[in-house]
């Protein structure tokens, strides 16, 4: 079990200015546009060249992980050594006011402010240790089952998906809740299917929870849903009148926000002058496709995990003949090619790809245990990566080629 004193001793005390920046970032935990340009990005090394996905999303993940680092595990909710974690979570993740969070924990307002300050400092200490490259303590079993750990294990498998069908299933899932709240959906969707390259399982969960959130906030009456698909841009808007002023401040949960992040989508809010609220979900219509030509199925699965945050579709081919056929039928955005395979060897396949009009311009990353980049480049490779390959090397290569 980790106590407050242990948390304090494990990390070096950060400067006061750093604590203030962490507090500011926590206050904007759900505002990706604000986090995208936050000064903490540079301090944590989350630059556009190194972050996995948009920098604002990565900063939010770091903040969430730092909050979870304070989690003492399976202890009573009002236990003294769980107080800092629970205060920070209630205030910044659950979006309660300071007074509401203190009431939940049975604290006076003065004590709540004092302990919340200590909680913010503890989060800052965890992040400061990251800046200082100080090793983090081993996570507890409880932390390993937290939502942050679940998100890190979640794989994304994108393929063409009808968003209209997913939206209908999401409405069916939320129908009983809406009925209990005396809320009715008024839906405007195109008559034809709206196809988006996404993971249907994660996308449906995101839609269900966004609709559920809106239904719970909405005043009894009409909740308007509109799905628009114009010029390659797909956008879902939900318009409703919040039941109270407090509801205007409430965003979707951090778990749902990270599901949306994982899909490469963007969720925004707008308050209209007449008191209505509009939630807008901007979807990525067509994510990049990476063709992996390698007889090692494990590498394909590894690259799928590496590209989870990029909304990429990883298309596998276990031999050269299959890889050439797939590349010619639907040229991908990039090809990752091994050179030791049954059938057509990688060197020959690389030359064929370069000599075919359909694939001549497709970037090819040669990824092999045979460390011969000179030969790869002479035959037309765009980049060379020696095996074993790391996640950062793959992301850097694809960014360099403009794929992600």
pLDDT digit string (tens) for 303-338? 777 775 566 778 888 888 889 998 988 888 899 999
| Range from 41-55, 86-100, 318-332, 358-372 carrying the lowest mean pLDDT | 41-55
The range of the structural domain enclosing residue 185 comes to 159-283
Q: What is the pLDDT, as a whole number, of residue 244? A: 67
Same domain, 204 and 244: yes
Q: What is the pLDDT, as a whole number, of residue 9? A: 40
Q: Is 90 exceeded by the pLDDT of residue 211? A: yes
Same domain, 189 and 273: yes
Q: DSSP string spanning 285-324?
A: SS--EEEEE-S-HHHHHHHHHHTGGGTPEEEEESSHHHHH
Q: What is the pLDDT, as a whole number, of residue 3? A: 44
Same domain, 178 and 261: yes
Averaged pLDDT score across all residues of the chain: 82
Q: What is the pLDDT, as a whole number, of residue 231? A: 66
Same domain, 116 and 209: no
Q: What is the pLDDT, as a whole number, of residue 302? A: 78
Calpha distance 335→352 (Å, rounded):
13
Q: Is 60 exceeded by the pLDDT of residue 401? A: yes
Q: What is the pLDDT, as a whole number, of residue 23? A: 93
| Range from 22-26, 226-230, 298-302 carrying the lowest mean pLDDT | 298-302
Q: What is the pLDDT, as a whole number, of residue 113? A: 93
| Range from 144-158, 177-191, 242-256, 306-320 carrying the lowest mean pLDDT | 144-158
Same domain, 183 and 266: yes
Same domain, 140 and 15: yes
Q: Is 90 exceeded by the pLDDT of residue 28? A: no
Calpha distance 234→76 (Å, rounded):
45
What average pLDDT does this structure show over 174-198? Answer: 91
- Pair 69, 126: CB distance under 8 Å: yes
Residue 278: which CATH number? 3.30.565.10
In degrees to the nearest 10, what's the CA dihedral of 44, 49, 54, 55?
Answer: 20
Q: What is the pLDDT, as a whole number, of residue 144? A: 43
Same domain, 312 and 193: no
233 φ, ψ to 5°?
A: -110, 125
- Pair 337, 350: CB distance under 8 Å: yes
Calpha distance 307→291 (Å, rounded):
12
Q: What is the pLDDT of residues 74-106, one digit of tens each?
A: 678 788 888 999 899 888 887 788 998 899 899
Q: What is the pLDDT, as a whole number, of residue 247? A: 43
Same domain, 141 and 191: no
Calpha distance 288→276 (Å, rounded):
36
Q: What is the pLDDT, as a whole number, of residue 158? A: 67
Q: Which of 263, 283, 303 is the last residue of a domain?
A: 283
Same domain, 8 and 148: yes
Same domain, 14 and 145: yes
In percent, the amount of the chain with pLDDT more than 70 equals 83
* Domains of the chain: total: 3
Dig out the tokens for 192 from the structure: 């034809």
Q: Which of 232, 264, 283 is the last residue of a domain?
A: 283
What average pLDDT does this structure show over 139-167? Answer: 64
Q: What is the pLDDT of residues 268-305, one digit of tens each?
A: 888 888 889 999 998 876 667 889 998 887 777 777 77
Same domain, 57 and 185: no
Q: What is the pLDDT, as a whole number, of residue 188? A: 94
What average pLDDT does this structure show over 155-178? Answer: 87
Residue 316: which CATH number? 3.40.50.2300
Dig out the tokens for 326 from the structure: 């797939």
Same domain, 296 and 216: no
Q: Which of 98, 122, 153 is the last residue of a domain?
A: 153
């Amino acid at each position: 079990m980790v106590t407050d004193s242990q948390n304090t001793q494990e990390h070096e005390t950060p400067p006061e200015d750093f604590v203030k920046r962490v507090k500011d970032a926590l206050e904007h935990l759900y505002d990706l546009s604000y986090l995208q340009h936050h000064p903490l990005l540079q301090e944590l090394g989350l630059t556009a060249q190194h972050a996995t996905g948009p920098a604002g999303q990565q900063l939010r993940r770091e903040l969430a992980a730092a909050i979870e680092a304070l989690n003492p595990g399976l202890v009573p909710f009002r236990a003294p050594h769980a107080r800092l974690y629970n205060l920070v979570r209630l205030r910044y993740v659950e979006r309660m006011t300071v007074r509401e969070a203190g009431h939940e924990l049975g604290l006076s307002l003065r004590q709540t402010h004092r302990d919340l300050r200590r909680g913010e400092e503890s989060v800052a200490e965890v992040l400061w240790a990251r800046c200082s490259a100080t090793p983090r303590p081993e996570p507890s079993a409880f932390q390993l089952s937290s939502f942050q750990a679940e998100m890190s294990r979640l794989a994304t498998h994108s393929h063409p998906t009808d968003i209209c069908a997913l939206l209908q299933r999401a409405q069916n899932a939320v129908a009983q809740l809406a009925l209990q709240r005396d809320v009715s959906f008024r839906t405007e969707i195109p008559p034809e299917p709206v196809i988006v390259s996404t993971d249907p399982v994660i996308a449906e969960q995101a839609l269900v929870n966004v609709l559920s959130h809106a239904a719970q906030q909405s005043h009894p009456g009409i909740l308007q849903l509109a799905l628009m698909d114009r010029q390659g841009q797909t956008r879902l808007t939900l318009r409703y009148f919040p039941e109270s002023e407090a509801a205007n401040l409430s965003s979707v949960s951090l778990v749902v926000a990270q599901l949306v992040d994982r899909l490469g989508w963007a969720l925004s809010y707008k308050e209209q002058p007449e008191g209505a609220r509009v939630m807008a979900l901007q979807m990525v219509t067509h994510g990049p496709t990476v063709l992996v030509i390698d007889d090692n199925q494990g590498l394909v699965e590894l690259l799928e995990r590496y590209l989870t945050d990029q909304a990429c579709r990883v298309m596998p081919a276990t031999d050269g003949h299959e890889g050439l056929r797939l590349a010619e039928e639907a040229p991908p955005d990039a090809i990752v090619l091994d050179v030791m395979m049954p059938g057509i060897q990688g060197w020959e396949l690389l030359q064929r790809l370069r000599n075919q009009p359909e694939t001549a311009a497709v970037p090819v990353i040669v990824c092999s245990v045979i460390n011969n980049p000179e030969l790869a480049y002479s035959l037309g490779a765009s980049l060379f990566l020696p095996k074993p390959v790391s996640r950062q090397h793959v992301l850097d290569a694809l960014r360099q080629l403009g794929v992600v």
